[in-house]
Amino acid sequence: MSVEKFLAYEAEDYYAKRGWLLGRGKCGGKAKGLAYAHTLLIESDLAGRVELPAISHVVSTEVFEDFLHSNGLDDLYDEENWGRVQTCLKNARFSEALKADLRRILQDFEPIGNPPLVIRSSSMMEDSVDLAFAGKYDSFFSANIRDMEWRMAKLEECLRAVWTSMFNPSARKYRSKHGKAHRDESMAVIVQSMIGKDRNHIYYPKLAGTIFSRIFRRPSPRIQKEDGMMCICFGIGTRAVDRGAARSFYLTNPSLRPSGNSPERIAGSSQEFFDYIDRNEGEIRTGFVRDWLSIFSKSHRDLDQYIEFYDEDSEMLLPYSLYSAALRMRPLISFPDFHKRQAYLFDLVRDLIKLMETQLGLPVDMEFTYDTTTKDFRLVQLRPLTHFKEMSRVEVPEVPAEKIIFRGDRMVSNGRLRYVPYLVYVEPLKYLNEWNPSGAAHAVGTLNEKLKGTRYILAGPGRWGSRNPAIGVPIQYADIYNCGCLVELSAPQFNFNPELSYGSHFFLDMDSDNILYLPVFAGQSNNVYASDWLDKREYETGAHPSVRVYRGNFFVYLDGESEQGLICEE
């Protein structure tokens, strides 16, 4: 097959035949990808081995557009005041006819036990061949408990929130940057049964993850780009697509850890929190793995495949079998030897990659859930890997040591920038001492807007865009989207380390916008972090004391084949 067949595919018939389409509008990109995946699976050798969510209702774009029109909100497409947008949509009313339709949707989930629901965006531009819009629009969860009145109120709240997200500043800036008119966008919504299991009123899938059929940022030249990769987390899959601590498995070499194999590095990049639905309280919650060990030990008989312990005193990793003696140690969801114990999953993923990439005629990005006990594999998303673009190899020149500002030797893709006039740098010590993470993020965002039209270099400690400001500046993608190269710097003395989390929405955005990326590990061979140069060179201070702006002629050379990258001045 070819990409033309996917482009011509009309997914509305798929949902209408099952009684799952509300309205006569379009079902959007995310719903289209899921329907197309099912049509391919039922005719393949994977039928029966790969399933989809039990029910996926689609609230079509017509319903969204009628909602805006009936509330007199057609002008929101042109409204740049985010506060006014939120207020208008919060006060907008659902028609009685729409409420009746939503009630019927909820009743459809009753025969399968009223599982929690995932309410997902599926806009017209989302998950297209041209642009992914990954993470630009929101998805929400409903515990789907109690009486119909409670369930209806929660569904209306989530539906309204997804619709509202179509107008958020990040989405508006992303559309504008890529030449898309705001009025050409429209929002459908998927109301989907969540996959998982209720364990004493705590509901979550055992594993959730993402699959990429091609790799554009490799931690080692030993990895073949064409073999693909898988990222997995324990619990709800929110941590598999943000800059959390999902475990990455490169299918060429599943035992390779991109962050390194030392116990300290494994501890710094492993999952210690998980997300779940609390069906008593009716909310999504985050749990600390340490607090849940005794419960996990009763409900999961295969924890040795997920968990090991880190002894900070001896800097050693200990197996889960030493649980009784390891209570003072840090439990990590690090998936030790997981690829050996779950060969079935890895073989299935390889077969799925081959099927989908062949049938679409494009590299693909998928999301899934998996139960290691029952071998239940559910595909919850399929989309083209839109940023697939091979660039010609870049030759990294010989540069005098005193001219090198940053050098790195892993997760490098091909790219070059010349005569870059600005370098923006967040100084780690000032960031910590002048503790105002949101202020630092705002200062970066202000400069990003000021430097619009200039491909500047942005460097800072740890993980850009992390939800935890103690390990990186908590910017949103809209705060950095104008930069040409993003540098993540290690400062181990302050617990700052880059995270090579390829596959997150953050990295998908960077790739689709051709933003280069360089991680730098201070003190390691073939890495340079010229802090002396940064301290002595003249700079201007941004709106936060940690933010510095350097003017000059800067050059970026990144070679993905040799995994070498450097940034230097003229």
Predicted local distance difference test score (pLDDT) of residue 311: 87
> Measured between alpha carbons, how far is residue 374 from residues 60, 195, 202, 205, 304 in Å?
34, 13, 19, 12, 17
Residue 548 in 3-state DSSP?
A: strand
Is residue 206 within 8 A of residue 300, CB to CB? The reply is: yes
- 205 Cβ neighbours under 8 A, 6+ residues apart: 194, 195, 196, 197, 235, 236, 237, 369, 370, 371
Predicted local distance difference test score (pLDDT) of residue 253: 92
Is residue 240 within 8 A of residue 231, CB to CB? The reply is: yes
Burial class (CB in 10 A: 0-12, 13-18, 19+), 159: buried
Query: Nearest to residue 250, comparing CAs of 267, 233, 225?
Result: 225
Predicted local distance difference test score (pLDDT) of residue 420: 97
List average pLDDT for each run of 10 residues in the chain, which is 570 residues long: 82 97 97 96 96 98 98 95 97 98 98 97 86 81 96 98 95 88 96 94 95 79 85 88 77 85 83 94 94 89 92 88 74 94 97 95 93 96 72 82 94 87 97 96 96 94 86 88 93 74 63 84 92 96 97 93 89
Is residue 38 within 8 A of residue 192, CB to CB? The reply is: no
Helices in 1-108 by DSSP H: which ranges?
A: 3-8, 12-17, 28-41, 61-70, 82-91, 96-108
What DSSP string describes 450-505? HTTTS--EEEEEB-TT-S-TTSB----GGGTTT-SEEEEE-BGGGTB-----TTSH
Q: 268: which 2 tokens?
A: 């710094």
Predicted local distance difference test score (pLDDT) of residue 504: 59
The rounded distance, in Å, linking the Cα atoms of 248 and 503 is: 9
Query: Nearest to residue 509, comparing CAs of 135, 179, 255, 197?
Result: 135
Is residue 365 within 8 A of residue 383, CB to CB? The reply is: yes
The rounded distance, in Å, linking the Cα atoms of 82 and 257 is: 41
The rounded distance, in Å, linking the Cα atoms of 119 and 138 is: 9
Phi, psi dihedral angles at 196 (to 5 degrees): 165, -160
| Pairing, β 197-199 against β 316-319 | unpaired
Is residue 370 within 8 A of residue 235, CB to CB? The reply is: no
The rounded distance, in Å, linking the Cα atoms of 145 and 133 is: 31
Longest CA–CA span in the chain (Å) reads 72
Is residue 189 within 8 A of residue 119, CB to CB? The reply is: yes
**Which pTM was predicted?**
0.86
Q: At the fourth CATH level, which superfamily is domain 3-194? A: ATP-grasp fold, A domain (3.30.1490.20)
CA within 13 Å, CB half, 49:
14
Is residue 197 within 8 A of residue 116, CB to CB? The reply is: no
Phi, psi dihedral angles at 235 (to 5 degrees): 90, -165
| Pairing, β 117-123 against β 56-59 | unpaired
The rounded distance, in Å, linking the Cα atoms of 131 and 126 is: 7
The rounded distance, in Å, linking the Cα atoms of 118 and 564 is: 42
- The residue length of the chain stands at 570
The rounded distance, in Å, linking the Cα atoms of 175 and 185 is: 9
Predicted local distance difference test score (pLDDT) of residue 324: 65
Predicted local distance difference test score (pLDDT) of residue 10: 92
- 525 Cβ neighbours under 8 A, 6+ residues apart: 409
